[in-house]
A and B are shown apart, each in its own frame.
Chain A
């Protein structure tokens, strides 16, 4: 009597399931590591997952990292009703 072997198709499906589970575990580990790194930097972070179910990028709700980079212009802006010498818009 011979033991019944699973079909090749079933084997492939099992491989795919295992591979998918492995990817999910890897993604979860990567997310956790990223969140831990953000927390280490003293920032409360949230995570946005990709629509494709792939990797994710940690985001901080803190604006601390932007201080010093976003410096205001000294004179500010004034409105004008005269003709312009240049345009700022999409390109």
Chain B
């Protein structure tokens, strides 16, 4: 199998576009870069000029936004509804109170010593008026589209590249992968703690359609005084999730669904395998000691 690939940094993570036709790569890359730039302008919590930042600043009133933020927030609210509020876009205030209040490269270098616990306002408090194109959140609430926003972009980019070029494509945004079409052997994907370490430990699985996403408590960690925080926060308490699992990887029909299930599984802790099994989703959960559990037809690791 011969494929052509390009990687680049954007939205605070490393990203990848891989296609099965060499002449499609430049166009595919241009689509990915343009989409991620548009997503950043619409949905970044850390850009003062983003539409999301404007919504957060104007908490308590409705704010006019563009269709991209409306659609991305709609996906985040769908994720919240499907997880009964475990994956909630109103955790922005909780993350800020824990110290994740700027681009992560700066957070990881900060010497913050105090934090507060701020429970999320709750996804049901978000008001979307699609006819007027406005979003409103209650006073004191702050939105963070986080991982669902990244997964939303992966789905969108893969679909657009497939339509525009006709090539089979794999899009990886910070380790969350969406594919549209596949070469004859499918897309072999390494599942690991760090998505950039293709030579590291971890199984390789072949993906032919849909998406594969991994949520992890081992990355985006920072010190707050004598404690360590990470980026997956329980909306009910404002606390980082218990570290029952170091990583959870899930395959699903879309990257938004895969990412949502993986993040919810981290938050569900011991209940996660049974929950994924009930949903029929293929998942691999790695505990703190490195032992793994699988669900929903996830293939056995080769000996």
Contacts and interface: CB of A to CB of B under 8 A. Distances in A.
A77 B237 CA distance: 35
Interface stretch (A2-10, A17-25, A78-86): A78-86
The 3 A-B residue pairs with the shortest CB-CB distance in the complex, in nearest-first order: A90-B216, A73-B210, A91-B174
A65 interface: yes
B196 A55 contact: no
Contacts of B3: 85
Interface string A61-78: 011011001111111111
Contact of A76 (B215, B234, B297, B301): B297
Contact of A80 (B85, B204, B260, B297): B204
30 contacts: A34-B122, A49-B236, A52-B237, A55-B119, A57-B120, A65-B82, A69-B79, A70-B257, A70-B280, A71-B253, A75-B208, A75-B209, A76-B282, A77-B206, A80-B188, A84-B189, A84-B198, A86-B5, A87-B190, A87-B197, A88-B177, A88-B191, A89-B247, A89-B249, A90-B195, A90-B214, A90-B220, A90-B247, A91-B174, A91-B195
Most chain B beta-carbon neighbours within 10 Å: one of A48, A57, A90: A90
Given A48-B236, A87-B197, A62 B84 contact: yes
Contact of B299 (A49, A79, A91): A79
Contacts of B237: 48-52
A67 to B, nearest CB: 8
Contacts of A54: 117-119
Nearest to A52: B117
A89 B18 contact: no
Q: How large is the interface on A (under 10, 10 to 19, 20 to 34, 35 or more residues)?
A: 35 or more
B248 to A, nearest CB: 10
B86 A59 contact: yes
Interface in A15-36: 34
Given A75-B208, A90-B216, 10 more contacts: A52-B118, A57-B122, A59-B85, A65-B84, A69-B82, A70-B257, A85-B188, A86-B172, A88-B213, A90-B247
A29 to B, nearest CB: 15
Interface of B: 3, 5, 13-14, 16, 18, 78-79, 81-86, 88, 116-120, 122, 124, 170, 172, 174-177, 186-198, 202-216, 218-220, 234-239, 247, 249, 251-254, 257, 260-261, 275, 278-282, 296-302
B280 A87 contact: no
Given A69-B82, A73-B211, A78-B299, A90 B190 contact: no
A74 B219 CA distance: 30
Interface of A: 34, 37, 43, 48-52, 54-60, 62-63, 65-66, 69-91
Contacts of A57: 85, 88, 119-120, 122, 235-236
B238 A63 contact: no
B59 to A, nearest CB: 16
B186 to A, nearest CB: 7
A86 B249 CA distance: 14
B250 to A, nearest CB: 9
A86 B257 contact: no
B89 to A, nearest CB: 13
A79 B204 contact: yes
B83 A66 contact: yes
A48 B275 CA distance: 19
